[in-house]
Amino acid sequence: MVLPWADAGIGVAATVALAAAAVAARALTVAAGAIAAIFGGVIVVTAGFPYLALLVLFVVAAVLATRYGLEEKQRRSVQEGVHGERGVSNVVAHILIPTAIAVSGALPGGPGPTETSVLFGSAIAFGAADTFASEFGVLESRAYSILGFRPVPAGTNGGVSALGTTWAATGAVTTAFVGFLIFAAFGRGLGGLVPWLVTVALAGFLACQVDSVVGELFENRGYLTKGGTNFVAMASAVGIGLLLWYGVTGLR
């Protein structure tokens, strides 16, 4: 769907205002805020308000997680930016794929409303899982390599911990549940509560593990940046979501 002109204007204005508020709160750099406003505007115009609402809630949750224990993160030099703000690379890595999904759902021959919501939800669920795992898991004293299971410092690419994994699951499940409520409130058909929740939550959580594997294999060797790793993992969330929706659940 594409919003009517009046609704589109409201959606774009709201997106710009929210991005400006994030910059003012030092959650995003100015450049990152501008990019968020542009892509967020595209999302709300092409897909509608529930997509913007889920994206905004993810950003709010990410900011809160980033600010949690910030002084300790700064002491260890593992914080985002200088004051916990996120830059262009992080925003682009997390918003390109959701935007592409939103746009594809509005194109003739693109995925239907239910499939679009599943894929978008899977991408955002990964974002939440990855952010929660990183921001809370980094406060652990020790982590373990996801491939070699050797002890590594918390915050190491490819390092996982019980705390981080628990928060990854929390982020994915919470996003799936909240996303279902948002889409249902806007009258979007979702194909059933349990299949939608299971697909989105599992896709987000499993993609978070993909992020750790890619981080250890490629980011640690300099083949990918952090943003590149996030992009690859989010793409995997969409692929996993598709596989679960059409393969495991058998829904058409």
Which tens digit of pLDDT belongs to each residue from 146-174? 998 899 887 788 889 999 999 999 999 99
Domain boundaries, the chain: 48-248
Residue type at 151 in one-letter notation: P
pLDDT value at 252 more than 50:
no
Give pLDDT, residue 117: 94
Q: Which of 13-17, 32-36, 85-89, 206-210 has the lowest mean pLDDT?
A: 85-89
Q: Which residues pair with 143 in a beta bridge?
A: 152
| pLDDT at residue 30, as a whole number | 93
Contact 123, 245 (CB under 8 A): no
